[in-house]
Structure 1
Amino acid sequence: MADNESEQYPQIGDKTISEQNKIYLRNVYTFFATSTKLNKNCDHIFFTNHGNTLFIDDFNLTSWLNNNGVDVQVREFNFEPQNSDYFTKSFYKFDCINEISKKSYSHSLLLDVDCVWLKPADALFQNASSNDICLYDVYESPSIDEPIHGLTRREMTEVFSSIDENYPKNKHPTHFGGEALFSSKKNLKKITQEHKQIYRRIQKDKEIPKFSNEKSIYDNDEYINSLVCNKLFDDWKPLNPYIKRVWTPPGFSNVEGNEDELCVWHLPSEKKTGLKYLFESIQNNPSDFESLGQPGLTKFIGKHTGVQKRPYLLKARMKTENLITKLSKIS
């Protein structure tokens, strides 16, 4: 968790810093509620740069995390980008990578908190731990001239090469998602060293590098992380069999119906809706949640988050809340 001024997050909308933090902390709860339920033999660490006790309204989140075996560690936000207010907090994960690289774990999995667990991590760890680096190929490597959000892989190569003269000019990068990273301790150290070098290099420049779509290298942590991981690793393995960035809005949904085979759903479009409803349901009935097995758990999470069909009352609630939000903006 990184605490700074209000900034732009398309999936959250126009929210104050207090509202953004509340949404984020609910996501922290749902992430660790699902992970500690399914991964009881794993160590869980939550990094934050907020030194005070964390509350969601009057609910003491810090106490709940501690009681559920989550190690809450306070660390400074050192990788905060300058002259950008777009996805700024997401760069805090570079500080998290740096901190994890100092731990004694042979391998570690880092995830965004707007993820939820559906199955234990056993299969993921068993298959991934034979590799030193596993990454999420979010767009599954389209052709080099196919634009994604107005940016092609060829254009990414040009900007990456201008930032780092050692970046291979003939290597068109894979766009790695920032929601998941599985790595050995050795490679985490390599990654964090490159992050620091790139960060210092950009800070020295008078102009922050921009892509042809006018996005700054600082407008998304995935740009810098893709630069670093493409430069460092050729023999990486995909996390795609275990995790998916699931979009649920009508007309923009990528739900295919086989998502229940995955271990983790990343739900960026459900930050302020589905994950809020999931938070409320788990908090209000913790014993019912703990008693859920499979396939009940997947169905329970799916109906709250829209990956599966939402109940009528939940859809009606969403429409009512959206209408209230629109009316409040007009007034």
Structure 2
Amino acid sequence: MNHICTWLCADEKGEESDFPQSGMKSSSQNHQNIYWRCLIVFFISSTRFNKEEKHLLFTNVKTLPIVDGQPVSDIMHDLGVDVIHIDFKYKTPKGYFGSFQNQFFEFSILEYIAQNRHEPTDLYLIADSDCVFIRPAKRLFHAAEPNGFISFEIDSPVDHQINGLSRLDMQVLFAEMLGKEVEEIPSYHLGEFLLSSNSHIKKLYADFLELWPVLLERHEKGLKKLNEEAHTLSFLYFKNGWKAAKQNLFMKRIWTNPVFYRNVDPSDLKLTLWHLPAEKTFGIARLYDYLLFRLDEYGKNISDRSFFGLVRKTTGIPRLRTSRKIGYYSISYYKAIAKRIRKYAGAQ
């Protein structure tokens, strides 16, 4: 059985971390509603194209909220999504790293799968909620089947820091943590995407349990450490000799800001999955509005071709309008958020 999953980990008051794009406290409902809207779009798009796959939502929220007058639990039921409530067990201490601390929630997800799912060949695609499917994921799952694993890397300059570490930094750090020389410069794997078999996830989680106290100890001593889940997954993949796919024909971290950074290409139209980190409050929000309030049955009444056209229209991919407004927003509005998302880009 193939599974498609996303997650939402809500920060509690006093445990907030920095999310540059929202500009709000991460414990606030307004901030969290941005992610509820994203995951609703995620599942609407996935269930449209992936009817044979099982869909799972992992969250530490015990009671799903009402967003824009719509009970999220009802939407998940309508879409056939199983909601799995789990605790956030692997919280980094204060001062560990300022941004996106709840990314380590992914290892609570891996724990649940490792301990509760029993078919070793079952495949799990775990993606960030600000992703949109534009076609079926069958080819992607098929590509992962031979090895029980597939991952993709960011081909960044070796000295370019992403969330506090460059790939050169990772080479030195990996050597220290493994206790041996690392001759090759490691890959930085896309943290927003994980596709592994149950057996691989068991291995990842077992290795993470050994790694976790090491990370906490290095933090206490003020040493360099793995700051976020992509660093951590990259280390675990490297330790196990799991390589990134040589070609990425399936998914991409697409930056869409026309002022600060834009890596959109016409070839993106051939992908399976778009990760749109700069579109949470722009294109994905507009797409959410169409699917929830302007179309019937979450857009099921329109053709796949029309749906694809709607996604392109709302996100401005591959081309933006040439007027002063981009979608519903002005150029000046994009400029206002450019500074806030600069440190998260990591793709230049």
Q: Is TM-score (shorter-chain normalized) higher than 0.5?
A: yes
User: 1:264-315 CA deviation, whole Å, 9 max, x = no partner?
Assistant: 0000011121111111110011347213334332221121122234567973
What letter matches 1:306 in structure 2? G
CA contact (8 A) 1:136 1:176 kept: yes
Match for residue 250 of structure 1? 258
- Give the CA RMSD over aligned residues: 2.6
Match for residue 286 of structure 1? 296
Quick one: distance in 1 between partners of 2:39 and 2:327?
A: 26
Quick one: distance in 1 between partners of 2:298 and 2:213?
A: 49
Task: Quote how far apart the aligned CAs of 1:94 are.
Answer: 1.4
Find the partner of 1:104 among 103, 113, 118: 118
User: 1:184-211 CA deviation, whole Å, 9 max, x = no partner?
Assistant: 211111111122211112223422533x
Q: Does 1:264 align with 2:279?
A: no
Match for residue 178 of structure 2? 165
Match for residue 312 of structure 2? 302
Segment of structure 1 superposing worse, 122-131 or 290-299? 290-299
Q: Does 1:94 align with 2:107?
A: yes
Quick one: distance in 1 between partners of 2:250 and 2:270?
A: 8
CA contact (8 A) 1:55 1:61 kept: yes
1:164-313 superposed matches below 5 A: 164-166=177-179, 169-205=182-218, 206-210=220-224, 217-218=226-227, 220-237=228-245, 240-251=248-259, 252-284=261-293, 285-287=295-297, 289-309=299-319
Task: Quote how far apart the aligned CAs of 1:104 are.
Answer: 3.1
Quick one: distance in 1 between partners of 2:276 and 2:204?
A: 26
Counterpart secondary structure, 1:110:
strand
Counterpart secondary structure, 1:78:
coil
Closer, same or farther: CA 141–101 of 1 in aligned 2, 3 Å? farther
What letter matches 1:153 in structure 2? R
Match for residue 344 of structure 2? none
CA contact (8 A) 1:167 1:231 kept: no
Q: Does 1:12 align with 2:26?
A: no
Match for residue 145 of structure 2? 129
What letter matches 1:155 in structure 2? D
What letter matches 1:298 in structure 2? F
Counterpart secondary structure, 2:330:
helix
What letter matches 1:179 in structure 2? E
Structure 1 length as normaliser, TM-score? 0.86
Counterpart secondary structure, 2:98:
coil
Closer, same or farther: CA 176–261 of 1 in aligned 2, 3 Å? same
Match for residue 154 of structure 1? 168
What letter matches 2:172 in structure 1? E
Structure 2 length as normaliser, TM-score? 0.82
- Identity across matched positions, percent: 25
CA contact (8 A) 2:10 2:26 kept: no
CA contact (8 A) 2:324 2:331 kept: no
**Structure 1 unaligned spans of 5+:** 211-215, 327-331
User: 1:130-170 CA deviation, whole Å, 9 max, x = no partner?
Assistant: 22211121x2365xx442447532221112233x2346522
CA contact (8 A) 1:299 1:308 kept: no
Q: Does 1:3 align with 2:10?
A: yes
**Structure 2 unaligned spans of 5+:** 1-7, 338-348
Task: Quote how far apart the aligned CAs of 1:236 are.
Answer: 5.0
Segment of structure 1 superposing worse, 91-100 or 244-253? 91-100
Match for residue 85 of structure 1? 98
